[in-house]
Amino acid sequence: MPLTITLLGQGAIKVRSCCEAVTPDSRHFIAAGLPETGATSGTEDCWYHHWPEEDCGNRLHAKILLTLCHHHSHPSAKSLLVYDSLYPAARGATPLLQSLLCHCPGFSEAWGICSGCFDPDAASALARVLMTEECRLLYVFDPMQRLSQCPTPQASELHYLIFSARTLRPS
For residue 29, what pLDDT is reported?
47
Write down the mean pLDDT value for the chain. Answer: 84
Indicate the length of the chain as a whole number.
Answer: 171
Say what the pLDDT of residue 43 is. 52
pLDDT confidence of residue 32: 42
Half-sphere exposure of 24 (CA within 13 A, CB side): 9
pLDDT in tens, 94-130: 778 888 888 889 999 999 888 989 999 999 999 999 9
Share of the chain above pLDDT 70, in %: 82
Label residues 88-113 b or e (16+ Cβ within 10 Å = b). Answer: ebeeeebebbeebbebbebbeebbbb
pLDDT band at residue 31, thresholds of 50, 70 and 90?
A: very low
Task: State mean pLDDT over 44-58.
Answer: 85
CA distances for 111 relative to 96, 99, 122, angstroms: 11, 13, 15
Q: Report which of 153, 151, 145, 146 is spatially closest to residue 44, judged by C-alpha positions.
A: 151
Q: How many CB atoms lie within 10 A of CB 165?
A: 20
Better-predicted residue by pLDDT, 74 or 6: 6
Q: Considering only residues 93 and 164, tell me which one the structure prediction assigns the higher pLDDT.
A: 164
> pTM value?
0.83
List the domains of the chain with CATH numbers: 3-167 (3.40.47)
| pLDDT single digits (tens) 130-158 | 998 889 999 999 999 988 899 999 999 99
Quote the pLDDT of residue 42: 52
- DSSP assignment of 104-137, as one string? -TT-SEEEEE--SS--HHHHHHHHHHH--TTEEE
Question: What's the pLDDT score for residue 26?
Answer: 52
The pLDDT assigned to 99 comes to 86
Please compute the mean of the pLDDT values over residues 73-95 and round it to a whole number: 79
Q: What is the pLDDT of residue 90?
A: 58
